[in-house]
Structure 1
Amino acid sequence: MKQNNSSQIIYINSIMKNPSLCDGTGYRTVLFLQGCDLHCKGCHNKETWDIAKGIRITVAELADTLRKSCFNKELTISGGEPLMQADAVYELITLLYDFDICLYTGHDISEVPPKILDKIHYLKYGPYIEELKTTTTPFVGSINQVFTEISHATSE
């Protein structure tokens, strides 16, 4: 039985308390989701790999928390790997329709569900490759990764 957006479960690791300038354009609240199947060598968020270690919360509860804590409605969804919970992420960004959403994924852009691409404003995609690490390219960890604006995002 498919759950509706009010009862859909999502597993989170944490919500960054202070806004970040490193995780997309502007001062962004960062949501770290729990669970990753990529296990990139050199990952700086290894504690997010095991989904069972996450905080279990409904999408509606998380959306409510983010509405109260994200002062400027600029949100980056990171991980872990957000696409492991693609249905829940879709429900979340649907509830946060008036937010500026950035999604970080280690997958290729072709693997991001179109329904998610239609609702986000920025996307960082590509696996982290330790041998290609960069500290000078904004918003990415390795030079193979791409940070791009999704020009067709709408605020419906």
Structure 2
Amino acid sequence: MTSPKIVAFVPMRHSSERVPGKNYRDFAGQPLYHCVVKNLLACPLISEVVIDTDSPKIQEDATRHFPQVKLLERPEHLRAGTTPMNDVLLNSVQQVEADFYLQTHSTNPLLKAETITDAVETFLKNYPLYDSLFGVTRLQTRLWDSLARAVNHNPAILLRTQDLPPIYE
């Protein structure tokens, strides 16, 4: 049996609205996006790493530091901060053929190659019963909405946070 072709996408806009230049901002002596790209390249189950970007800075830097990574220039109509990520990903999968796709962000600098490998192995072991897998963060804390209303607890009964029902981000 042959191994499936798994392509990892790392979409990055040049301009971030909340944190200017976040994708190429220095993190531990290197551009932030280098961390996740290096770990994707270190994952033996990933066949190809693809960066989708509209950033000339990222394109030039990635060409120099990661010649084995495929670069997709994001079309003008998909560059707005309001563009749904599904539209960006659909554009990418139409250009790069694979059996399966993995997508992550450059803002995961502490994501380890071992974690990626474990996730891909879990997915492959459970496919086709499940056709997708995604990571979440478990939250067990008191949450409030913008009108100061409790979201996941009763303020009159202050349970210990570890006893609150978990919510996943």
- With the length of structure 2 as denominator, give the TM-score of the two structures: 0.32
Computing the radius of gyration over CA atoms, which structure comes out larger, 1 or 2?
2
- With the length of structure 1 as denominator, give the TM-score of the two structures: 0.34
Q: Which structure's residues are more often helix, by fraction?
A: 2
